[in-house]
Structure 1
Amino acid sequence: MHISEGVLSGPVLLAGAALTVTGTAIGLKKIDYDRIMTVAILSAAFFVASLVHVPIGVSNAHLILNGLLGVILGWAAFPSILVGLVLQAVLFQYGGLTVLGVNCFNMAAPAVLCHFVFRPLLSRGTGSRFAAAFACGFCAMLFSALLTAGSLALSGDAFIGAAQALLAAHLPIMVVEGVITGFAYTFLARVKPETVAVSSN
Structure 2
Amino acid sequence: MHISEGVLSPAVLVAGGAVTFVGTGLGLKRIDYDHIMTVSLLTATFFVASLIHVPLGPGNIHLVLGGLMGLVLGWSAFPAILIALLLQAIFFQYGGLVVLGANTTVMALPAVGCYYLFRKWIETNGNKRKMAAFAAGFFSPLLSSLLMALALATSDQGFLQTAQLVVAAHIPLMIIEGVITMFIILFLSRVQPEFLSIGKS
Unaligned runs of 5+ in 1: none
Q: CA deviation at 1:199?
A: 4.5
Question: Secondary structure at the residue paired with 2:152?
Answer: helix
Q: Does 1:116 align with 2:106?
A: no
Q: In structure 1, what is the equivalent of residue 86 of structure 2?
A: 86
TM-score by length of 2: 0.98
Q: CA deviation at 1:69?
A: 0.2
Question: Secondary structure at the residue paired with 1:3?
Answer: coil
What do the CA deviations read for 1:90-136 (whole angstroms, capped 9, x no partner)?
Answer: 00000000000000001000000110111121111132211101101
Moved >6 Å (runs of 4+): none
Q: How does 1:126-141 map to 2 (within 5 A)?
A: 126-141=126-141
Question: Secondary structure at the residue paired with 1:118?
Answer: helix
Partners of 1:119 and 1:198 within 8 A in 2: no
Separation in 2 of the partners of 1:165 and 1:200?
36
Separation in 1 of the partners of 2:10 and 2:142?
25
Question: Secondary structure at the residue paired with 1:63?
Answer: coil
Q: In structure 2, what is the equivalent of residue 68 of structure 1?
A: 68
**Number of residues of Structure 1 aligned to a counterpart in Structure 2:** 201
Partners of 1:126 and 1:186 within 8 A in 2: no
RMSD: 0.9
| 1:149–1:100 CA distance, 2 compared to 1 (3 A) | same
Q: In structure 1, what is the equivalent of residue 195 of structure 2?
A: 195
Q: Does 1:34 align with 2:34?
A: yes
Partners of 2:110 and 2:143 within 8 A in 1: yes
Q: In structure 2, what is the equivalent of residue 146 of structure 1?
A: 146
Q: In structure 1, what is the equivalent of residue 2 of structure 2?
A: 2
Q: CA deviation at 1:75?
A: 0.3
Partners of 2:74 and 2:111 within 8 A in 1: yes
Q: Does 1:125 align with 2:115?
A: no
Separation in 1 of the partners of 2:21 and 2:199?
22
Question: Secondary structure at the residue paired with 2:170?
Answer: helix
Separation in 2 of the partners of 1:193 and 1:18?
34
Separation in 2 of the partners of 1:134 and 1:34?
28
Partners of 1:46 and 1:84 within 8 A in 2: yes
Question: Secondary structure at the residue paired with 2:119?
Answer: helix
| 1:179–1:26 CA distance, 2 compared to 1 (3 A) | same
Q: In structure 1, what is the equivalent of residue 159 of structure 2?
A: 159
Question: Secondary structure at the residue paired with 1:113?
Answer: helix
Q: CA deviation at 1:200?
A: 3.3
Share of identical aligned residues, percent? 56
Please tell me the residue identity of whatever aligns with 1:161: Q
